[in-house]
Every structure is written in structure tokens, then in C-alpha cells.
Amino acid sequence: MFEKVVPVNKERHAQTRIKEITGFSFASKFHIAYVTMHEFARAAAIYPIVFLEDKEKDEFRPVALLGLDAGTNLFVGADGKWDASYVPAIIRRYPFALASSDKEGQFTICIDEGSELVSSTEGSPLFDDKGEPTQVIENVKRYLSELQQMDALTREFAKFLAAHNMLTPLNMRVRESAGIKNIAGCYVINEERLNNLSDERFLEIRAKRYLPAIYAQLISLAQIERLVTLADKRAGK
């Protein structure tokens, strides 16, 4: 999704403008999108939610499956429109992103200069004539700050699941028009282990307010059938 991400700078971006998002063609080749646990309830009604293992960082990250094949987002049509009622926050924040700064706990707002939404002539300016941030920057700062807080809580959630052996590899075979497809390489919450938790552990999960996200993830797996239907429809079957 991102091509040329650089920190927002009032000298470098004095004339930079951001065009309004009117389509999602930029996300047409992304078959996964990271979601925070706070998005699970809404996302689960549309997308399967699974966990991917980041071995380099030794952590698991929850993502919404947007397609069955790498490079294909089944929710973005040829016209660039998103064919679903909920768009993951990481998609909606484009072309902005947060990057860790040199100071612990602080982040820098970045922008993808390679995005077609970035212009020097069209859209809303990032800075005014005096070099002060416009409302665009203020809105982005607030939105990314909220997203960063949700991201931190989601990392703790995934760390808790992994630490208590509640994740298990997903191995599923689905039938689509082209034949049988194996869905693997990701993890889901193990329902049997959840049901066999001690009362003490279950109450701990409830106290941490993880239960809604856990049940939403389990329920979301039914949406894999939606992906199969969309894939068949796109293939003209």
C-alpha cells in the first residue's frame, strides 16, 4: 500500500495537498488488512479475522482476510468502490501512517508521497500560508493517536492469547469454482481450549474485556464462505 513514506515536515510539505478519498483502488491488491481488537465486532460481520505470526518481532497480529489469494482484494471493485459497510481503519487512514520516533512512547506522523492522493495543486493543504498545521493535520493527528492506543491494547491482547496457548493453526479447505483451496499459514483462537479454561483464567479474560473480541474472532470464520462467493462471482461462475 505504501510506496514512499516520509515524516510530515512543514518545509518539505509546505505546498502539499491531500485529495479526498473517492475510491479504494490503492488497496485493490491487498488481501489482508490489520485490524485492532476494537474493530473485531464490526469487521467480524464481513471479514474472517485471523492472526498472523511475525517471527521477527515474536508476536501475533490480527488481520481481516480481504481475499483468498495474495494480490486480490475481493472487496474493491473495478470502479474502486469498497463493496462492504465497514472499511478497516488502517485503510481509512491512508496515505498517513505513524512511525516510532527516537523518544520512547512518541511517534511521528508520516505521509506516503507516492500516493495518488498527494498533490501540489488539488485537495486540502497540510499547512497554511504561515507554515502552521491546518485542520487536516490536526484531524490526522487525533485519528492516528486513537489508532495507536488501540494498536497498543491489541498487541497486549495478542500477547496474552499466545502466552496462554490459546492460538492454534488454521487449516481449512474450501471449495471454489477453480477447485479446492487450502487456507493455512494463519492462526485462530482455539475454541476447545477456551471452553476448558479454569474459572480463574476465564474471569481474568473477562476482567481484561477480551471476551467480545474473542467471540467475534470465532464467529468471523463463517465469513470465509463470503470470500468464496465473492471469488466465484468475480470469476464469473
**pLDDT (tens digit, 9 = 90+) per residue, 140-160?**
999 998 999 999 999 999 999
Helix ranges restricted to H, the chain: 40-43, 89-92, 135-163, 191-195, 199-207, 211-220, 224-234
pLDDT at 176 > cutoff 60: no
How does residue 37 score in pLDDT terms, banded at 50, 70 and 90? very high
pLDDT at 194 > cutoff 90: yes
pLDDT at 22 > cutoff 60: yes
How does residue 234 score in pLDDT terms, banded at 50, 70 and 90? confident
Domain ranges of the chain: 5-234
How does residue 17 score in pLDDT terms, banded at 50, 70 and 90? very high
Give pLDDT, residue 104: 66
d(CA 57, CA 55): 5
Q: Which of 192, 196, 206, 173 is nearest to 68 (CA)?
A: 173
Phi-psi label, residue 58: left if phi above 0, alpha if psi -120 to 50, beta otherwise: left
d(CA 226, CA 229): 5
Under 8 Å CB-to-CB from 101, ≥6 apart: which residues?
Answer: 107, 108
Asked whether 49 and 43 are in contact (CB, 8 A), the reply is: yes
For residue 2, what is the DSSP state? Answer: -
d(CA 84, CA 98): 26
Q: What percentage of the chain exceeds 90 in pLDDT?
A: 68
Neighbouring-strand partners of residue 171:
none
How does residue 21 score in pLDDT terms, banded at 50, 70 and 90? confident
For residue 69, what is the DSSP state? Answer: S
pLDDT, tens only, 49-107: 999 998 888 899 999 999 988 899 999 999 999 999 999 999 998 899 888 766 666 78
Average the pLDDT over 27-46 and give the result.
Answer: 95
Q: Which of 154, 184, 186 is nearest to 35 (CA)?
A: 154
d(CA 62, CA 150): 12
Residue with cell 505513524: 98
List for the chain the helix, strand, coil content (%; round to 5).
35, 25, 40
